[in-house]
Amino acid sequence: MVSTEYERRIAARFATFDQDGNGSIDREDFSAAAKALLAEFGVPARSDRGQALYAGAEAFWQGMAGIADRDGDQRITRQEFVTGAVKRLRDNPDRFAEIARPFLHAALAVACTGTDGRAGVADTARVLRVLHVPADQAEAIAAALDTDGDGRIGEAEVVPAFARYFTVPE
């Protein structure tokens, strides 16, 4: 099989969602990501921030399933991801941003050491590493997210960047 640049990029996006690497995307990938983030930052699951993160993860999963789980078996296969999710995300990145926003908002709140709901670059890199971004890339990606250069990363910076990452041109 010829591996084009496009196919490689799609495979990387799929792997981002398939957090446990079992070959499909399902609810467990999202809840496990939430659990790992709470553990990393020592935030109790029963706290407001913990509950918001789990709720955001569930909403993210439901949104993705609505887009891509065509046979309704509560799993998004690689094939469903390629034929369903990738095309629809490309056609409608704003919709994707709305699906992801509650989770991203809650993740930043978990990583936030202040009161503004934003996270520092180092803490954002910790979030990325927990989500299996390679450790040697996490710091640079986090720094690039800080588009206004004030050293803190907020929802207004993360949500569009996330949508851009998953909008893969053919």
Binding residues (CB under 5 A) for Ca ion: these are 18, 20, 22, 29, 69, 71, 73, 75, 80
Instruction: Compare residues 71 and 136 and give the one whose CB is closer to Ca ion.
Output: 71
User: Could you give the CA distance from residue 39 to residue 154 in angstroms, rounded to a whole number?
Assistant: 21
Q: Least Å distance between CB 162 and Ca ion?
A: 19
Q: Least Å distance between CB 40 and Ca ion?
A: 19
User: Could you give the CA distance from residue 86 to residue 80 in angstroms, rounded to a whole number?
Assistant: 9
Instruction: Compare residues 59 and 67 and give the one whose CB is closer to Ca ion.
Output: 67
Pairing outcome for strands 24-26 and 75-77:
antiparallel
Q: Least Å distance between CB 65 and Ca ion?
A: 8
Instruction: Compare residues 20 and 116 and give the one whose CB is closer to Ca ion.
Output: 20
Instruction: Compare residues 73 and 150 and give the one whose CB is closer to Ca ion.
Output: 73
Cβ atoms 81, 68 nearer than 8 A = yes
Cβ atoms 118, 108 nearer than 8 A = yes
